[in-house]
Amino acid sequence: MTPIVALPLWGVAALLGTAIGAVAVSRRGSATRLVYGATLGISAALFVIVTSALAGDPAGVSTVTLPLGLPWIGAHFRLDALSTFFLVVVNLGGALASLYGLGYGRHEATPHRVLPFFPAFLAGMNLVVLADDAFTFLLCWEFMSLASWALVMAHHREQDNTRAGYIYLVMAGFGTLALLLAFGLLAGPAGTYTFDAMRAGEPSRFVAAAVLGLMLLGAGSKAGLVPLHVWLPLAHPAAPSHVSALMSGVMTKVAVYGFMRVVFDLLGEPAWWSGVVVLFLGGLTAVLGILYALMEKDLKRLLAYSTIENIGVIFISLGLALAFKANAMPLAAALALTAALFHVLNHSLFKSLLFFGAGAVLTAAGERNMEKLGGLIHRMPLTSFAFLVGCVSISALPPFNGFVSEWLAFQAILQSPDLPQWGLKVMVPAVGGLLALSAALAAACFVKAFGITFLGRPRTAVVERAHEVDRYSLAAMFILAALCLLAGILPGLVIDGLSPVTLSLIGNRMPVQMAQPWLSIVPIAESRSSYNGLLVFLFIAASASVAAVVIHRFASHALRRAPAWGCGFPDVTPAAQYTAVSFAQPIRRVFGTFAFRARETVEMPPPGATGPARLTVEMHDVIWEAFYQPIAGAIDFATLRLNRLQFLTIRRYLTLVFLYLVTLLTVLALWP
């Protein structure tokens, strides 16, 4: 009987075949329809297969070994509960990005630079999740990184994109090196590179600590953990919008999968302090990510920075799960891990939706700078509605899905008084405060994103001529909007679907939720807390309907139009509206001093002068300047000095080789 894991592998083979075929047809007029149609069909089939596997045999494990890779090892692939869930996320995102690409891709200036790499990127993400040995995992990880780098460089003639691609490539290489070292430590002197052998091993405390640190560097750099996030706001906006949705909504989750596979599965029982480390990094990432997003006026960069914040939320929940698991609190650990997995799914939905909306704005208005947009709600009403759903979801407002996963994270935080270590007793409430702060800032951020982009009046003539996008793009956005609502009003279905993953990693699960009355969710017990998304939705819908009926029945039917209010003066120009920068000014004044070293300089003309007053805002990327600029400077300094080596004579080269050999032999002789 063919193992179930073979079916996703056949799907991956079909994606790779599509990539090869796209090389041949990418310059034809029908290439966009053919390639995206093929990836849509393959990803949808894979989504159905893995969803059926998760629902039909949730505890099942299917493995296969192919005669590829290292000769004495082969290529091992495994399908279990954890990999099945992440395959659901990957292929749902891939199918909807393909559907969106059917319309959006027709506006691509250089399709031959996108079409061959898009299916290859999808294949790489699937293979990473399926890999069951270190060599295959790293090979597929690099393949995924290179395919996504090629997509980032699709518009390589733009200087910012070239810089983004270079930084992404450097950070990807650094992350792969960290993962290689982590797997080397897990393999040990015997060199057992299969995950089964690593799972059976018992690493020492020092090795476990080193592996945790290396996984935070390797997987954390790909996910966007602070301070390893610097590539993400550069690379994600540079790619085509449906690729941005995949990179932000899906590829970062593949990095989360890599972290979970090693730390929760291969590394054995965690130490309590590992939860402190992950909690600290998660809290820092959440707050700084959303603060950076608030300062942005580029719509796609704002969404990219928001991804960093959501990765922080996920790692906060993972840190809680580690802390509870280390202290033999399986129910609380299952709650925290469920919150993390739920947010993985949620973020893939609403962030893909928001990037699709940003792509629609870019297609219709040719602009992603919010300072040049505005008034699009009248010209793109369907896109604006879908984008609004994404904004409400990512702001964690009920009844949409973002609220549920963050609410579960807060419920896990409330279990922290039972933790015995004082370090955790202090850290968990502090991180809870950071999580609450990031949630409030996220709401402000997306009020700004929607309001400046879609409300008000158009700021440019191009925006005035904007029109609604194609039906494929709208279909992809509305499917995601519907899923955001369904996951919010029926969260028990998702939580029960995640229970096989928590059982495999924690050994426990949350109580069965779909058996609760009125489809409520009860994380621990009814006496502690419960939530009913369906009733909240019905209450909001009923209240809004009654209000609309009352207003239309009893209010005046007369219509009045008047000039926009401008503090007592007629507002003659759209430039007098709120801008993205002015909206963020109060928050910049509160947090900007320590987060951005922000300074505001006001130049007032002397009395009697007719010149305008000017406000100049100076901001710095503190992390870039503190960590990366010194490293780049040191590398430049070293390369300039080492550049002389290429001009040596043959005698000097031989002398250097001789000195190196003597030094190496000396070190080996003195080695104990």
Beta strands in 445-578 (DSSP E): 565-566, 569-570
DSSP string computed for 573-595:
-GGGS--HHHHTHHHHHHHHHHH
Average pLDDT over residues 273-282: 94
Cα–Cα distances (Å) from 345 to 119, 147, 446, 589, in that order, read 21, 23, 20, 34
DSSP state of 194: B
User: Please, which pLDDT band fits residue 60 given cuts at 50, 70 and 90?
Assistant: confident
Strand 599-603 vs strand 565-566: parallel, antiparallel, or unpaired? unpaired
Report, in angstroms and rounded to the nearest whole number, the Rg of the chain calculated over CA atoms.
26
Say how many residues make up the chain. Answer: 672
* Structure confidence at residue 1 (pLDDT): 45
- Spatial separation of the C-alpha atoms in residues 120 and 99, rounded to whole Å: 17
Task: List all residues 6 or more positions away from 438 whose beta carbon is below 8 Å from its beta carbon.
Answer: 286, 287, 289, 290, 309, 312, 313
- Spatial separation of the C-alpha atoms in residues 424 and 272, rounded to whole Å: 8
Q: Exposure pattern of 291-321 as b/e (b: 16+ CB <10 Å)?
A: bbbbbbbbbbbbbbbbbbbbbbbbbbbbbbb
Strand partners, 531: 521
Sign of CA dihedral 404, 410, 413, 414: negative
- Spatial separation of the C-alpha atoms in residues 337 and 347, rounded to whole Å: 15
Strand partners, 601: 616
Q: Are 354 and 313 in contact (CB under 8 A)?
A: no
* Structure confidence at residue 569 (pLDDT): 63
How much of the chain, in percent, has pLDDT values that exceed 90? 57
The answer to whether the predicted template modeling score (pTM) of the entire model surpasses 0.85 is yes
Express each pLDDT in 7-23 by its tens digit: 999 999 999 999 999 99
DSSP state of 251: I
Express each pLDDT in 13-54 by its tens digit: 999 999 999 998 888 878 889 999 999 999 999 999 999 988
Express each pLDDT in 355-386 by its tens digit: 999 999 999 988 888 988 888 999 999 999 99
* Structure confidence at residue 672 (pLDDT): 64
Whether the predicted pLDDT of 260 surpasses 90: yes
Whether the predicted pLDDT of 567 surpasses 80: no
Q: Are 408 and 339 in contact (CB under 8 A)?
A: yes
Whether the predicted pLDDT of 559 surpasses 50: yes
What's the per-residue H, E or C state across 346-361? HHHHHHHHHHHHHHHH
Q: Exposure pattern of 574-599 as b/e (b: 16+ CB <10 Å)?
A: beebebbbebbbebbeebbeebbebe
Express each pLDDT in 158-216 by its tens digit: 778 888 888 999 899 999 999 999 999 998 877 778 898 898 888 889 999 999 999 99
* Structure confidence at residue 564 (pLDDT): 67
Express each pLDDT in 74-90 by its tens digit: 889 999 999 999 999 99
- Spatial separation of the C-alpha atoms in residues 281 and 528, rounded to whole Å: 29
Express each pLDDT in 591-638 by its tens digit: 877 788 888 888 888 887 878 888 788 888 888 888 888 888 888 888
Tokens found for residue 23: 């090389």
* Structure confidence at residue 572 (pLDDT): 65
Q: Are 162 and 221 in contact (CB under 8 A)?
A: no
Task: List all residues 6 or more positions away from 278 whose beta carbon is below 8 Å from its beta carbon.
Answer: 216, 315, 318, 319, 322
* Structure confidence at residue 629 (pLDDT): 83
* Structure confidence at residue 647 (pLDDT): 80
